[in-house]
Amino acid sequence: MSERRLMLLHYVTGLGILITGAVHIWVVFFTVPLDQTIWETTMLFDNHPFAILSVYRNALLASTLWLLLVFTTFHAMNGIRVIIMELIPDERVMRAAKWLLIALGVFLVVYGTRTILIAYSIR
């Protein structure tokens, strides 16, 4: 992929992080069941051991978490790639760094997806 497209994706994922992060914060802090107040549900661990997980059973939250994971992973891996490219402008180092960052990014997305699915499915 060309450097121009990678940087365009870098900017798009930065914007995606802002949007999905805002939706994530909104859903976590302002989406509550109708029969409870915000202080009775979100971020309280005292009432029930899985009280916080009830917030994460929201499909909108699970999807925004996954998008946030993908956007952040790509943005971080590409940022590290650009830093390495500027510090060590050697073709062999860049090729090794590219494959290492791709592998690390895939691992992070797979592991994060697994974690989101587990948190979403706990009853």
Q: How far is CA 116 from CA 42, 57, 66, 121, in A?
A: 18, 10, 7, 9
Confidence of residue 120 (pLDDT cuts 50, 70, 90): confident
- Residues 56-76, mean pLDDT to the nearest whole number: 89
Q: Which CATH number is 3-121's, of 3.40.920.10, 1.10.3720.10, 1.20.1300.10, 3.30.465.10?
A: 1.20.1300.10
Tens-digit pLDDT profile for residues 12-35: 999 999 999 998 888 777 765 555
Taking alpha carbons only, the member of 20, 123, 32 closest to residue 71 is 20
User: What is the domain partition of the chain in residue ranges?
Assistant: 3-121
- What mean pLDDT value characterizes the chain? 84
- Residues 92-96, mean pLDDT to the nearest whole number: 95
| The amino acid at 92 | R
Alpha-carbon Rg for the chain in angstroms: 18
Check: CB of residue 55 under 8 Å from CB of residue 41.
yes
For 42, residues 6+ apart whose C-beta sits below 8 A from its C-beta are 28, 29, 32, 52, 55
For 71, residues 6+ apart whose C-beta sits below 8 A from its C-beta are 13, 16, 17, 20
Residues 12, 7: Cα–Cα separation, whole Å: 9
